[in-house]
Structure 1
Amino acid sequence: MKTAKRKITAEDLLRFQFLSSPQISPDGGRIVFVKKRAHGVGKYKTDLWLVDVDSEGSEAPLTNVESDSMPRWSPGGTRIGFVRAGKDKDPQIHLIDPDGGEARQLTRFPEGAIRDFAWAPDGRTLAVVYRETIPQLTREARKAREKDGASTPPLIVETPFYREDGDGYFGEARFALYLVDTTTGEHRRIFQAPLGIDGFSWSPDAKELAVVANLDRRAALHPWKSSIYRVDVRNGRTVEVKGLPEGPKANVDWSPDGKLLAYAGRLGQDEMYSPDNAHLWVVDPRGGRPRNLTRNTDHCLMATCISDAGDPAFGA
C-alpha cells in the first residue's frame, strides 16, 4: 500500500538525516560514514556509523557523542581515526576499533582547528593539517575578558587573508602540516606556508609527502605561484617539483607505484576559484613537463586521485 504524498512541513526538518564522508575499509567489506541529525534546540549531532557492504543497508552506530567527524581507516583496517570535538573541547584525533570498544584520544593539540589528516601507508604516522588559534581568540582569552568586563581587542592583520566564510577570523594563523605518532600521539610540524596547505599526499613508501602550497612572499596577491613540494618525513627537507607551469594548483595525489603525481590546476595568472575549468595533470615527482589529461574535455575538475588500477579519476 502506497503512502499518500503530502507537502513538507517545518517539523520534517527535525527528522532529516544527512550522511557524509563515506570511507571504504581496506578489504572493501565495510563502510564508515558520518550521520548528522537534529539534537536538541538549535543543535546537531554528528557521529560515526558502520555498514557492511553485503548487508543491504543494515547500519550500526560506532560512536555516540555530539560531534565526531572525518573518519579514516588505518591501512590494515584494524583502527579508525576520526576527529572529536564538543562544547569547550578542542578538536582532537581519536582512534577506535571498528569491531567495538571505547575511542582513545590520540592527539593533544592546543586549541585550534583540524582540516584534514591521512594515515601513512605503514600505519605508524598521521599527517595532519592543523592550525593553532591565535592567543586573543582562544576560549581562555574570551573568558578572561568577560570576567574583567573588557572589550574585544582589535584584530591587527598584515595580509588580506585573515578570515574565511564558514571559518571565521583567524588573523595571521595558518594551517600547517604536522606528523603524529600513532602510538604516542606526539606531534611535530614538518611544513608551513604563507597561506597554508592546499593539498597533500603520502608517498607509497611512507618516506615523503607531496604538498601543494604557495611559498611566494606575497602569496595572497599571487595565487598562481603555487607549486608542489616533496617533503622528507625524517628531517623535513623540502624539494620543489621542477618544471610545473605557472598557475593555481590543488589536491595532489601520489600514484600507487610512486611514479606519478596527479593534481588539479590551470595555467596563467589566475586563482583556483575562477570561471575557467581546472584540469587534471600528472607529472613525474622528480620534475619535468606535466601532462594535461583533460585538455579536450569540458569537465570542471573538483578532486583528483589515481586508482589502484593506475587510472586517473576525477569528480566533476
Structure 2
Amino acid sequence: MRPVDLDRWRVGDASVDALTREIRMPGARRPVRVTPKALAVLRVLAAQPGQVVTRRALLDEVWPETLPTDDVLTQAVTQLRKAFGSGAGGAEEGRAYIETIAKSGYRLLREVEALAPDAGEDVPQTTSTATADTAAAAGTTAEPPTPENTTPAVTPLPAADGANPGGARAQGWRAATIVAICVLLAAVGVLSWSLVRDDDGGADARTGVEASRLITSSLGFKGSPSLSPDGSQVAYAAASSGPAGSVIMVQPTRNAPARVLARAGAARGGVVTDSIPRWSPDGRDIAFLRRLDGNACAVMVADVRGGDVREVARCDGARTVSFDWTADGSGLLFGTMDGDFAAPGVRVLDLRTGAWQPLAYDHIPGAIDHAPRVSPDGRWILFARNPQLGDLWRVPVAGGRAEQLTTLNTELRGWAWASAGRVVFGRRVDSEVRLYALDPASGAISDLGFDDAQAPSMVAANGALAFVRRNLRFGLFRVAVDPSGAIHKQRLFASNGRDNTPAVSPDGSRLAFGSDRAGPYELWLAKLGAEPGEPTPVPGITPIGSHAPTWSADGRHLLVAGVADAVERGATTLYEVDAGTAAVRALAVPVRNPVQALRLDARQLVVAAQVGDGPLQLVLLAADGRGWRQVRALEDVSQFRHDPVSGRILFTRLSGDGLWEASTDLRPGSVRQVDPHHPRRVHYRTWSPSVAGAIDYVVSTPECRTQLNRLGGAGGSRQLCLSVGRRAATSGFSSSTRDGTLYLSMVIDDGMEIGFTHLPQPRPSSTLGIVKSLTVKGKPVS
C-alpha cells in the first residue's frame, strides 16, 4: 500500500493526518487544517514525488465531472504551501515543498513515507490518550512507560530463618500504612478526575482548544456571545430572517436549536437591530441594545423565559455603547457613551430608581473606557481604554485610581474575567484576532491557541468559554471612478488568504500590502498595470498589521514596522525596504515601538511611536554623525498620511473624531483640524488622501456595505456605493493622489459561528480548595 493511502504519512519534515486534514510542521504553534480539495491535490502529488504533474491531470483527478477554473487549483496549492510554511522555516520553506513548473504543472520536492498509526509529533508512541489528556488537565507532562518509570513485578522473598517477630509486625504496620496511603491517593485521583470532567458528568477531560466546538451552524452574522451564569446557555446576536437587522438568540451550549429572545413590535416599523446581550447574575434576565433605523437607541431588559421586555435607558444618537450588570444585579454598569445622553467615563444605572451614578475614578478626558466587566469576587471593574488602539485597565468597584494592566497599544476585540483573577481577551494580530490569557498579578500574557477567535464570554467558576469564530478571507481590489461617477472594479490577485493594508506608490506603479497567502503574515510587493504582476514576498519582515507601509516620495523605498518574533510578538522595529531589490535594513531609531514612518529626505524621518506605556505620538527625527535624534513631537496621534498635493501631514487622534493636519516639521502653530466629523476615532484607518487634494473615506451603511465618501478637492465632493453586499476591511485602504484610483481589501468569504469550550481550571491546592470546587460545581460535600 502506498503511504498516501494510509491515514497518516510524512512529507519531508511534515506529518499529514488525512483523517483530520491537518499538516504539522516542526516548530509550528499548531497543525494547519486544509480543505478536502487541497488534501486531494497533495495526495496526487505525493503519490509521485519528484515528478511533474500537469495542471490538467490535477484538475481531472481532484475535480472530476466539473469544469473548474485554474484558480481553484492555484488556491489549493497556495493553501498547502501555507501549511508547509507554518513551521520554523517560514513561508520560504513552504514554497520550497511544491515547485511550480511554468505552463505545465507542479512537482512535490520532498520524500514521502508512511507514519506508524500511533506516531505523533513530539509525543512518545507509548503514551496513552487517557494519560496524556489527564496530564494536560493537571498541567503536567505524561511520561511513557520506560524501565526507569514503570514499576517492575516484585517477587516476595522468603523470610530468613530466625526472623524477628517484632520486625514482622513492623513490616505489617508499614504495609498497612502504604495501603492506606494508596487508597487515599486513589481517592484524590478520582476526585481530581471529577473536577476536570464536563459539568454534565461526561468523561471527556479535554479542555481548551482541543475540546472547542462550534455550537451554531446557520448562515449569516453572529456576534457578542454572553454565557448564562452556569454556562449551560449562551445568548448572542444573529442576523434576522428579514431583509436587515438582527435579533438576540438563546440556545443551550450544546448543539441544540436556538430561539429568539424577544422580537420588536411590528407597529414600530423600520429596521430593528438587537445586539450585545448581557446575562444577569441570577440568570433570569438579559440586557441588550436595540437600535431602530437612524438615531433611535435604547437599552432593553428581557425575561429569559420570554414575555416581559422593558426599556431601561435611552442612548439616542450614540455610536459607542457598552454595558454589563453590577455584581448584585441591581443595576447596569455603562462605559463611555456619546450621543444625546453622552457621559465621558464609567457610570452605574440603578434599575429600581432609574438614577445614574458616575464612578469616581481618574478618567482621562477624551478617552473611551469601553465594556466594563465586574470581577467574579466583586472587587474590580475591568475595561478597555481606547479599544481600537489601547490597553486593558481595572479600577476598584468603589472607584479610585485606575490601573493599567497591559502595555500592548493594540486593537482589542472583547475581554472577560476568568478564574483566579485572570483575564481572557481578544487581540488583533496581523491578519487575524486571537485569544490571550492575562495574569494581572504578574503581567504575563499567553496565547490560548485559538485561531480567528474573538469576543470571549466566560464563567469563571467552571471555566466555560464562548467566543466568536470568524473565518475571514480578504482580496485586494482596484476601484477606478471616472468623471461621470461610473465605477470600474477589478480583483487584483488570486489568494486563499487575507490580503490587507494596501499602499500604492506615488507614481501608481507598485503596490505593497500584508498577507498570509503563503503561510505566515508577510510583506508583499506587486507591479501594477493593465494586468498586474504576480506578488512577491519580502523576506525577513513580519509586518505588525495595524498600520500600512509608507512609500518614499520617489517610490523607490518604503518604511514598514515589524516584529522579530512572529509568535511571541514583542517590541517592534522600523525597516526600510528597497522596492526594486526587496533588500531590507533595520533603522535604529530612538523611539519605542514604532508603528508607522515616512522618510522626508535622506536625513529626516517622521515616525509614529508609543510614548512610554501610553498612546502614540508623532516624532520628527533628524540624522547626524551619531545617529538619529528627536527634534520635535506631536502628542495623541493614531495614524498619519502624507499628502503630496499640499505637502502636509494629515493625521487622526484617539481623543476625538475628525482629521488634523500639520507641517512636515511638526511645528505646533501649524496644527489645525480640517474635518471635525470624519473619520470617527474608532475608524482611524478608513481614510486616505486622494486626487487633487480630496480626502477619501470608506464607510459601511445598511444600504451599502462599502461606500466611498470623497470630500473636497477640485472635483467636488461625491458619495458612491462601491459594493452593496461586500464589506471593506477595517484595516485601511490607499488612494492614488495621481488619479483617485482606490486600492482596498474587501471580504471574499466571511464565516461567523459561536464556539464553546472549557478552559483548564487551576488545581485546588488544599482540602479547603477541593471543597470550594465541589461547592461551586453544585456537588454535595461529604
Change (3 A) 1:282 1:62: closer
Whole-angstrom distance in 2 between the partners of 1:198 and 1:127:
13
Counterpart contact for 1:195–1:213, Cα < 8 Å? no
What per-residue deviation string (whole Å, max 9, x for no partner) do you get for residues 118-174 of structure 1?
A: 2112110001022122xxxxxxxxxxxxxxxxxxxxxxxxxxxxxxxxxxxx3x334
Q: 1:292: how far off?
A: 2.4
Whether contact under 8 Å (1:197, 1:211) holds in the other structure is no
What are the residue-to-residue correspondences of 1:178-193 with 2, within 5 Å? 178-193=300-315
Select which of 105, 110, 131 maps to 2:260: 105
Helix, strand or coil at the partner of 1:213? coil
| 1:74 paired residue among 203, 223, 228 | 228
Change (3 A) 1:88 1:28: farther
1:286-301 map, 5 Å:
286-294=398-406, 297-300=407-410
Shift of 1:92: 2.5
Residue 201 (structure 1) aligns with: 324
Match of residue 247, structure 1, among 363, 366, 370: 366
Is the Cα–Cα contact under 8 Å of residues 318 and 340 in structure 2 kept in the other structure?
no
Give the distance between the partners of 2:226 and 2:327, measured in 1 at CA. 17
Task: Please report how far the alpha carbon of residue 53 of structure 1 lies from its aligned counterpart in structure 2 after TM superposition.
Answer: 7.5
**1:254 & 1:126 partners in 2: Cα distance?**
16
Aligned pair in 2 of structure 1 residues 173, 60: CA closer, same or farther (>3 Å)? same
Q: Is the 8 A contact 1:227 1:244 kept in 2?
A: no
Paired with 1:87 and 1:182, the residues of 2 have a C-alpha distance of 23
Pairing 1:18-29 to 2, within 5 Å after superposition: 29=198
- AA aligned to 2:366 is G
Amino acid at match of 2:399: G
Retained in 2: the 8 A contact 1:280–1:301? no
Deviates more, 1:95-104 or 1:3-12: 3-12
CA distance in 1, matches of 2:341, 2:254: 49
| Aligned position for 2:167 | none
Q: Is 2:284 the counterpart of 1:130? A: no
Q: 2:416 aligns with which of 280, 284, 305?
A: 305
- Aligned residue identity for 2:356: T
**Whole-angstrom distance in 1 between the partners of 2:410 and 2:311:** 33
| Counterpart code for 1:300 | T
The unaligned stretches of length 5 or more in structure 1 are 17-26, 31-51, 134-169, 220-224, 267-271
CA distance in structure 1 between the partners assigned to 2:213 and 2:405 by the alignment: 41
Change (3 A) 1:53 1:230: farther
1:298 is displaced (CA, Å) by 4.3
Partner of 2:281: 121
TM-score by length of 2: 0.26
Displacement of 1:105: 2.8
Question: What is the correspondence of 1:278-289 to structure 2 with a 5 Å cutoff?
Answer: 278-289=390-401
| Maintained 8 Å contact 1:72/1:81 | yes
Contact 1:264 1:301 in 2 (8 A): no
Q: 2:246·2:275 contact (CA, 8 Å) conserved in 1?
A: no
Secondary structure of the corresponding residue to residue 309 of structure 1: helix
- Computed over aligned residues only, the root mean square deviation of the Cα atoms, in angstroms, reads 4.0
Letter in 1 for 2:374: W
What is the rounded CA distance, in whole Å, between the counterparts of 1:121 and 1:198 in structure 2? 20
TM-score (norm 1): 0.58
Determine which structure has more spread, i.e. the larger CA radius of gyration. Answer: 2
How many angstroms apart in 2 are the aligned matches of 1:118 and 1:125? 9
TM-superposition CA deviations, 1:160-219 (whole Å, max 9, x none): xxxxxxxxxx3x334x32111111242222223342543222223222221113367696
**Which amino acid letter does the alignment assign opposite residue 391 of structure 2?**
H
- In 2, the alpha carbon distance for the partners of 1:291 and 1:280 equals 9
> Which residue of structure 2 lines up, in the alignment, with residue 151 of structure 1?
none
AA of the residue aligned to 1:69: K
